[in-house]
Chain A
């Protein structure tokens, strides 16, 4: 059977399962719609968080990104995992104890202000929207590459699927589909990784193959010989201060992303919130420790497939001509000697490899069966759809729960709220699809916004709300606004080329820190301003202080008679 037919069968099969789960998990009330009735077991929630978290970018691009960044790729590896330590220790258990539906719920109640609630809801919508556009685009790209369907048609199919299980099942439907999607994506990721590790080192476990073989050393030496960067040496791509700042911004940003935090409301108990954070990091860590191994193996393999090989011979490989036709791989015999040379100089380099090819082409380069290639396509779709659905729910609940119910119509009935939620999630799908079909030119740039703004606004507000009992409304508002405005302006100035079309960035860096890491400075400013303003103004009301005490500690057996 051809790769196309197999891909089609696998995609239809997995989509059928997602639709079935959406129908099976129909939400009957707002609690199941927003937080899956708070009945999700810890392991399942961990898998759902992992699928929610790992996007099309994690699945398709990350290993390739690392393969080209070398050591400094650690900003993504540590940055996108280390945040779970902050979540597990500092936020998740307490938000679960608080026990409402959304992030704006917490900050709005804790700082006794609908203004803060509205700001948090707007931040949630903005952060989720910048993210979701890329996911829908990812769905379209996978469809077009593997099934030769137009990108627009691919996005429309993706929208229809997400709309079905999200509108019908809400968080409950989304959670259980994400659990399935995690297993589809991780299997699709691991099989090619195991195959290439086995082929190159004789050790089937990619993590061990990377640590105990000499492939990484050989790649590093090979790169130096070709005049490329030394793969294993730190700070070749980014300065040490930037690696530090970007890693911290991504970690804190992760801990402040609303669609991830919301997932901790869905478990049965505070204890389950702690254990589901463990399952989440285990499931995520499985992919994130595999990615650097794939990066090294695939790059080593690719360089050896091309360097000093005859162009005609290389082109006889089916996968080479296929990926050349997509434009992700470019071979040009610039000096007309019939042999390919890789160099660090653009004028003489004859092989250009796009980062996305590292994961997408690995099964073909390693000569795996067409079934595995089809599986990778289904995995990419699972990664994109699961993240999209989590983001859509975060976005729509900010509108339907935080704005409509908590601010505008506190007297709305259960039925009204459920109807508004369904309409909002449907509208969110349409908006996300629109951006998937007509992506804004700077979509890659705005992801820096999502993490920077989450790090500079939501994380400090939630953290201080739990750990600083004295923190009041005035302090929180001043801190959030300072962090938000500073980070927003800085990113606009540093990315002005892409956003406003200026010739040079208006500002190249702030104290040596780039746009991706600037959220850290915004976060520090938020903390400092919040502290001083709160100490200069009145303490929060007594009932708020009691609420903080209640969030912090469990009911103790011989205490209250509740």
Chain B
């Protein structure tokens, strides 16, 4: 057992352990060699920007999944945060303003406001789940609908545009030149949150408690973990992450509407699961979440470059989710 593994063997082990990731990498390389512009700075920065926001959402949802819960309200929360951010930062001189009497907010003030809102919604989710013991699936199914309703009421189903110039510019900004080497600012935002969550999950009590609750909630409670408090904090953290993602998304898109963020919860859950977050609780890493989300985004771009009819995308994505989880579970069965 103690034999030293060569680099080649390690690579082989990784491929065996993560066949979907390996397969997709190979497909990408093939596509890259046969299709023009696949390996381009532009495409890379596109991939990074798309991945960054979804990574932030997936980080939020990962805590819920690790504690055997889920959060179906993620996407709609992103949408609400995007709309509210949009409303707050609309230019004072923009003719289509939704709330004409509202002052134009500083973009960071807007961020703060949506974060507070996200924390409140997450807190409500968390309290219902941890105190009233309503299963997370049902709780967040309910809040998903409520949040969407709030968003429709708030926006009156109108699209929101006319953002203050600095807002869009900052979020879509990049280091370097669009045509050649460039790295979008969003990359650094994603790295920051990735590191923050790694620290939270590995170096703080909160993370250990989270894994313990996922491993055996009653045992965690008996060991002195205030499970209700931990769970509430996990859903609050999740809400905050959705809010930040929504704020980023509105700026990246240059506009917002109530339909924004629809289905993002499923993409985030899929990304986490592909990345090895176990559906039976107690297992999951930040790096895994990143890989999972990246794989999913890469898959979308590959399909796009191959010129596949976008309607087929959903079919392929769905298959990848099921196959990835089936393979993951097989891996665990074999260990028995």
Q: Do A and B form a real pair?
A: no
Q: Which residues of A contact B (CB under 8 A)?
A: none
B residues neighboring A (CB under 8 Å) = none
